[in-house]
């Protein structure tokens, strides 16, 4: 199979942008929104930072626009910030509650599935899993058969993560499998790779390591074909973690070293934690201490918790009680 080129990737991005704009325009029949909002909607998926800038620039203009345009603007602000990973969920709860009420009773009902989806995202980010799952289910039910497969796949993925965190692994597996089928139908390679990775994670959680490796290998082959260094490194990182869990530290180290530099750029806590865990498994005290010390300086709170536990155990074993 041929490797997808950078040019093809750019063409695909432009294609998605155009399709997104067409979908938005079709969804807005009967609602005359300012053209800037149509453009911002199209930008949200492919360049959310540009969408945020555009929305910020037209804020004053929107204040004097009709109610439907103002509400649509508020939705797009949430959507763009979420896509850019800049959404502050606690600050958006009152906003999303007002938007849900508006679109349920008098707004453009074509936008209701999207409103429910972002309500789910906000409640998920504020650790209210039952409310989030309820909104994601409403979003799914509000979509017509065969409508907006991309949104449906994201709904399934979000539900999968929530079920995973609640340790309801069978339901999580169903959701990630459903997301994969949606993305397969639209040939969304990137999304399919992450879906396969997530399916693998659920099999690992169910202690079915053979299946977990099977799906990771599929994800790895697709990432290699797509030729995206970060995606390849991401799957290598998960493969290393799975080898560590199955007590194969040498294989774990091989994949961890391959992914280390690239993963480190995006998630140093995860990269250093994995290396520390592998060296602990190999019984290499010096290297374990080195990576735990790195985490002590730059890790997030979760990584630090594990690092301090490892440091405590190591020093106690060495009778270094101070």
Q: What are the sequence ranges of the domains in the chain?
A: 159-221, 228-322
Does the pLDDT of residue 10 top 70, yes or no?
no
- Give pLDDT, residue 137: 98
Q: Residue 237's Cα: distance from chain center in Å?
A: 16
- Give pLDDT, residue 31: 65
Over range 140-163, report the average pLDDT.
93
How many C-beta atoms surround the C-beta of residue 120 within 10 A?
Answer: 27
Cβ neighbors of 225 (< 8 A, separation 6 or more) are: 1, 3, 4, 189
* Tokens coding 83: 């896509």
Over range 208-233, report the average pLDDT.
96
Does the pLDDT of residue 4 top 60, yes or no?
no
Burial class (CB in 10 A: 0-12, 13-18, 19+), 207: exposed
* Tokens coding 252: 């774990």
Over range 191-201, report the average pLDDT.
97
Does the pLDDT of residue 3 top 60, yes or no?
no
For residue range 296-306, list pLDDT tens digits in order.
999 999 999 99
- Give pLDDT, residue 267: 87
Say whether 247 sits in a helix, a strand or coil.
coil
- Band (pLDDT 50/70/90 cuts) for residue 180 is very high
pTM for this model (two decimals): 0.84
Helix axes 112-125, 129-142, angle to 10 degrees: 160
Residues counted in the chain: 322
Burial class (CB in 10 A: 0-12, 13-18, 19+), 30: exposed
- Which of 40, 37, 47 minimizes the C-alpha distance to 70? 37
* Tokens coding 106: 């008098």
- Give pLDDT, residue 30: 52
Same fold, 159-221 and 228-322: yes
- Give pLDDT, residue 274: 96
- Reported as type and span, the H/E element at residue 231 is helix 229-245
Does the pLDDT of residue 204 top 80, yes or no?
yes
- Give pLDDT, residue 11: 39
**Topology classification of domain 159-221:** 1.25.40
Does the pLDDT of residue 24 top 70, yes or no?
no
Measured at the alpha carbon of residue 288, what is the angle toward residues 285 and 290, in degrees to the nearest 5? 110
Q: Is the domain defined by 228-322 classed in CATH 1.10.10?
A: no
Does the pLDDT of residue 26 top 90, yes or no?
no
- Which of 22, 35, 119 minimizes the C-alpha distance to 69? 35
Does the pLDDT of residue 1 top 90, yes or no?
no
Residue pair 218/196 in contact by the 8 Å Cβ criterion? yes
* Tokens coding 243: 């080898």
Over range 86-110, report the average pLDDT.
95
- Band (pLDDT 50/70/90 cuts) for residue 19 is very low
Distances (CA, A) of 116 to 44, 192, 233, 307: 17, 24, 34, 39
Q: Residue 283's Cα: distance from chain center in Å?
A: 34
- Give pLDDT, residue 226: 94
Q: Residue 178's Cα: distance from chain center in Å?
A: 16
């Amino acid at each position: 199979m041929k490797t997808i080129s950078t040019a093809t990737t750019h063409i695909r991005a432009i294609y998605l942008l155009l399709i997104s704009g067409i979908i938005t325009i079709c969804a807005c029949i009967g609602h005359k929104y300012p053209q800037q909002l149509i453009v911002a909607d199209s930008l949200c998926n492919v360049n959310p930072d540009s969408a945020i800038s555009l929305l910020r620039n037209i804020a004053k203009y929107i204040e004097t626009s009709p109610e439907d345009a103002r509400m649509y603007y508020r939705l797009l602000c949430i959507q763009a910030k979420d896509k850019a990973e800049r959404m502050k969920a606690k600050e958006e709860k009152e906003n999303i509650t007002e938007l849900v009420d508006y679109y349920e009773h008098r707004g453009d009902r074509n936008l209701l599935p999207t409103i429910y989806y972002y309500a789910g995202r906000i409640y998920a980010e504020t650790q209210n899993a039952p409310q989030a799952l309820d909104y994601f289910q409403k979003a799914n039910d509000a979509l017509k058969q065969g409508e907006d497969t991309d949104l449906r796949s994201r709904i399934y993925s979000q539900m999968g993560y929530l079920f995973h965190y609640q340790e309801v692994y069978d339901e999580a597996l169903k959701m990630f499998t459903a997301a994969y089928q949606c993305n397969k139908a639209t040939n969304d390679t990137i999304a399919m790779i992450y879906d396969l990775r997530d399916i693998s994670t659920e099999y690992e959680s169910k202690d079915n390591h053979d299946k977990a490796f099977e799906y990771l290998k599929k994800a790895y082959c697709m990432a290699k074909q797509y030729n995206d260094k970060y995606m390849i490194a991401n799957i290598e990182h998960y493969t290393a973690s799975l080898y560590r869990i199955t007590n194969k530290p040498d294989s774990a180290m091989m994949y961890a070293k391959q992914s280390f530099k690239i993963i480190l750029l995006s998630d140093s806590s995860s990269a250093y934690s994995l290396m520390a865990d592998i060296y602990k498994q190999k019984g290499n005290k010096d290297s374990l201490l080195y990576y735990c010390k790195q985490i002590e300086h730059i890790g997030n709170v979760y990584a630090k918790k594990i690092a301090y536990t490892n440091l405590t155990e190591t020093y106690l074993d060495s009778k270094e009680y101070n």
